[in-house]
Amino acid sequence: MTLRKQRVGFQKPWKLKEVAAGFEHFYKEYGRYPTATEIDLYQYLPASRSIERSLGGLVNVRKELKLKGQEDFRSGEHSTKRAKKINKRAHETGAKIYEFLCKSFQKEFVRHEFLFTDDGRSRTDFLVYDMCDGFCVDVFYPANRRNLIVCLNIKLQKYKNKYMNQYPIIFLQMNENISEETLKDILKNKKKTLAKGQYLMGWQTFQEFCGLRKSLKI
């Protein structure tokens, strides 16, 4: 089967056999078939939305091609494994940040999952009180650059409310494979800039930021 490459701009709809060739090429490289996100990033496959429009969606394509393994990655074993992995990582990451903040600012001045209101939803991961009136930390772990941009836009929408802007907010991304240079580039090219008092940081920059803050004394 002939491999077809993604191109920028208008393209003719992909045929099922072209998608099949891309799937098989991915399988040879990774020993499994791709998820929707991986399809979007793979040069020998069209965007998953394109598959949705022209071929009836990924679930249908997987059935048509009789691919090995699970047809619908949104449910079942794949979804369960993914949820467990995310929950485990979130717990470990949260514990790491909490321990660091407690060492830097003392436990008494660190609030975990601070609620701005009593609605149970308007919360930030950490609120830290310090000599500079404090700051909030909203933690996330984006899979890649594109996912980071999506997550950041969602968080900016969340923090539009005035009562959630009482303190400076650090959007702390914890994927070590995403560099500080990438973060700078994203902010540089972002149409809607961050508001005053909002910052996007990686772990290293965040530690340096905290090192410049003065802790309160008991």
CB neighbour class for 194 (10 Å; exposed up to 12, middle 13-18, buried from 19): middle
State pLDDT tens for residues 17-73. Answer: 999 999 888 888 877 888 776 787 788 888 877 888 888 888 888 888 887 654 444
Poorest-pLDDT segment among 45-54, 107-116, 180-189, 191-200 = 45-54
DSSP H helices, the chain, are 16-30, 36-41, 48-55, 58-65, 76-105, 145-158, 180-189, 203-211
76, two tokens: 């079942």
- Measured CA to CA in angstroms, residue 65 lies from 51, 151, 172 at distances of 13, 33, 41
- Residues of the chain with pLDDT > 90, as a percent, come to 41
Predicted confidence (pLDDT) per residue in 134-174, tens digit? 999 999 998 888 889 888 988 888 888 788 888 999 999 99
Same domain, 60 and 35: yes
Query: Using an 8 Å Cβ cutoff, are 129 and 161 in contact?
Result: no
How far apart are alpha carbons 93 and 126 in whole angstroms? 12
| pLDDT-derived band at 81, boundaries 50, 70, 90 | low
Domain span holding position 112: 79-211
Same domain, 52 and 148: no
**Together in a domain, 64 and 119:** no
Answer yes or no: do 186 and 204 share one domain.
Answer: yes
The amino acid sitting at 78 is H
Q: Domain tally for the chain? A: 2
Position 2 in a domain: no
Q: How many CB atoms lie within 10 A of CB 66?
A: 7
Rounded Cα distance between 100 and 78, Å, is: 33
Per-residue pLDDT at 121 exceeds 80: no
Q: Which residues contact 169 (CB under 8 A, 6 or more apart)?
A: 124, 135, 136, 137, 138, 159, 197, 198, 199
Task: Name, in order, each residue with C-beta under 8 angstroms of 153's C-beta and a sequence gap of 6 or more.
Answer: none
Instruction: Name the more confident of 176 and 39.
Output: 176
Q: Is residue 163 part of a domain?
A: yes
42 and 139 share one domain? no
